[in-house]
Amino acid sequence: MDTNSEKLLLKDEVFQVVGCAIEVLNTIGHGLVKKPYENALVIEFPLRKIPFKQSRKLSGLNYLRITALRVGVILNFKHRKLEWERIAL
């Protein structure tokens, strides 16, 4: 398998989401409870024309399977540096 020839699914969109998350982290800081980050992302995503759907009941791959979405991003604002993971089906 030649990984150089493979393209990441929705690569640009994932990087836009991560960019928004970094902007939020730089603005409000790290280590807060989840709600301030959710509120800030709900505001930030529409500014960049990024669709946003949030679910607290389902996690990662289960959410993708149930909603028939192909790619998701898990964000962690606990530390000074944003931790993120791209998940895909």
pLDDT of residue 36: 93
Supply φ then ψ for residue 69, to 5 degrees: -80, 155
Mean pLDDT along residues 56-64: 70
Q: State the Cα–Cα distance between residues 81 and 78, nearest whole angstrom.
A: 8
pLDDT in tens, 37-53: 989 988 888 888 877 76
Q: Taking the complete model, does pTM exceed 0.85, yes or no?
A: no
Q: State the Cα–Cα distance between residues 82 and 73, nearest whole angstrom.
A: 12
| % residues pLDDT > 90 (the chain) | 39
Provide the residue ranges of all domains of the chain, joining segments of one domain with +.
11-88
Query: Which is nearest to 13 in space by CA: 81, 79, 69, 82?
Result: 69
